[in-house]
Amino acid sequence: MRVILFTGKGGVGKTSVAAATAMRCAQLGHRTVVMSTDPAHSLGDSFDRELGSHLTPVTKNLWAHEVSALHEIERHWKKLHDYAANVFATQGLDDVVAEEVANPPGMDEVASLMWIKHYAERREHDVIIVDCAPTGETLQLLMFPDAARWWLDKIYPWERKAMKLARPILQPLIDVPLPGDDVYASIKDLLLDLEGMKKVLVDGRVTSMRLVLNLEKMVVKEAKRAFTYLSLFGYVTDAVVVNRTLPEGLQDELFRKWQSIHQRYAGEVEQSFQPLPIFNVPLFDEEVVGERMLLKMAEAIYGTTDPAARFYEGSSQRVEKRDGEYVLALKAPFVERGDVELTRQDGELFVTVGNYRREIVLPRVLAGRKTVGAAMEDGELRVRFAK
């Protein structure tokens, strides 16, 4: 089974590339499902047909799924939803409004990624294609399981016990309903689902991230940042798709200026993302909508290559021994030493880059050793542990 996630800045053509990849996989005989984690679903527009909140057949070997957060919450996390709606209703909100705002922000994306775990467990499909939300939302979403794991281990047991003791005393004194054991059980189920999802997503034998970009300064910069954070959090990126490249030989002055801009950033992309393969997709003379144009785009991207192949294999984290010391190496492309902050607590190492922080549970061979230094070398953060 293969899981392939497409992400990039909004408007670069992620949905078209994801749909084209799914069409080509299905054409090659892979049982393929394509889904969207973007609340503003546009998969149906790419296929030029209506898609529902359930698995919908598109063509032979291909199904599409536009996940409804409301349906998923009611199906899997109803206790959480009902509790939140009850809290809002007690504070004076209209019942209908309370039901709506009880869906926490980001649950569309979380519910969609949960389906990756469900489809992986069912093993009814060969390929799962995911059209992710724009880069920033996707990065926050992919970090969520790490935060959930920390909360489940460190806070959840104590908070549940404390609430069990305090609830009989506090509830008569306040007008906000306090969560019961059933709510805490539902929270635990959600966090365990997130952990199971993370195991699928970080398995490089199964899952790959693919970055979609255009040859513009802001888009390239964001793609590089995304590559940094994906590597830091253990997600394997196996390809870069450069969409809407201009053809050679244009005579119009406007297009020639844009072609010059594209050529400038094409070199930066090639240099920045090596050794990842880079697939260039031309700007077509008509909209990429419907089966014919999606297959045309897929041919431009992959040629005769199977899109389900792993185009690059590499680990984002490894432990090696050097001169008697152990070294933990983490991939962190485009990062300078001054951008990194390291802290250590017991058997955990905390790595902060920019606005993102990762908690790394150290293997036993490192957990009992003192950290003696760190350096950036060849796009890797290398943390040294004492002999």
- Greater confidence (272 vs 296) lies with 296
Which among 377, 379, 12 is positioned nearest to 210, based on CA atoms? 12
pLDDT above 70 coverage of the chain, percent: 77
Topology given in CATH for the domain delimited by 1-314: Rossmann fold (3.40.50)
- Greater confidence (197 vs 68) lies with 197
271 residue type, one letter: Q
Cα separation, 238 vs 219, whole angstroms: 19
- On the question of pLDDT at 372 being above 80, the answer is yes
Cα separation, 197 vs 143, whole angstroms: 12
Quick check: helix, strand or coil at residue 284? coil
Residues whose CB is less than 8 angstroms from the CB of residue 37 and which lie 6 or more positions away in sequence, other chains included: 67, 108, 109, 112, 113, 130, 131, 132, 133, 138, 141
Cα separation, 213 vs 223, whole angstroms: 7
Residues whose CB is less than 8 angstroms from the CB of residue 34 and which lie 6 or more positions away in sequence, other chains included: 18, 19, 21, 22, 43, 58, 62, 63, 64, 65, 128, 129, 130, 131
- Greater confidence (279 vs 258) lies with 279
Topology given in CATH for the domain delimited by 317-385: Immunoglobulin-like (2.60.40)
Beta bridge partners of 358: 351
181 residue type, one letter: D
- On the question of pLDDT at 149 being above 80, the answer is no
Q: Kindly report, residue by residue over 3-51, the tens digit of the pLDDT.
A: 999 999 989 999 999 999 999 999 999 999 999 877 667 899 999 998 8
Backbone φ and ψ of 354, nearest 5°: 65, -130
Residue 30, CB-side half-sphere exposure with 13 Å CA sphere: 22
Mean pLDDT across the chain, nearest whole number?
Answer: 82
* pLDDT value at residue 196: 76
| Helix or strand holding residue 132 (H, E) | none
* pLDDT value at residue 164: 62
* pLDDT value at residue 89: 73
C-alpha dihedral over 50, 51, 56, 57, to 10 degrees? 40
* CA-to-CA separations, 204 to 4, 126, 236, 370, in angstroms, rounded: 11, 16, 6, 30
Q: Kindly report, residue by residue over 111-144, the tens digit of the pLDDT.
A: 667 788 888 888 899 999 999 878 766 766 666 6
Q: Kindly report, residue by residue over 69-108, the tens digit of the pLDDT.
A: 666 666 656 666 676 677 667 767 776 666 666 666 556 6
For range 346-352, the mean pLDDT: 84
For range 218-224, the mean pLDDT: 92
Cα separation, 387 vs 385, whole angstroms: 7
* pLDDT value at residue 253: 84
* CA-to-CA separations, 231 to 235, 236, 358, in angstroms, rounded: 6, 7, 11
Highest mean pLDDT, choosing among 151-160, 196-205, 261-270, 317-326: 261-270
By CB atoms closer than 10 A (0-12, 13-18, 19+), residue 65 is buried
By CB atoms closer than 10 A (0-12, 13-18, 19+), residue 218 is exposed
Residue 56, CB-side half-sphere exposure with 13 Å CA sphere: 16
Q: Kindly report, residue by residue over 236-262, the tens digit of the pLDDT.
A: 999 999 999 998 777 788 888 888 889
- The domain segmentation of the chain, as residue ranges, is 1-314, 317-385
- On the question of pLDDT at 310 being above 90, the answer is yes
Number of H helices and E strands in the chain, helices first, is: 13, 15
- On the question of pLDDT at 145 being above 90, the answer is no
Contact 342, 374 (CB under 8 A): yes
* Distance, CA of 150 to chain centre: 19
Alpha helix segments (H runs only) across the chain? 14-27, 43-47, 69-76, 78-90, 95-101, 107-122, 135-154, 156-170, 181-201, 217-232, 253-273, 290-302, 364-367
Cα separation, 351 vs 340, whole angstroms: 7
pLDDT above 90 coverage of the chain, percent: 35
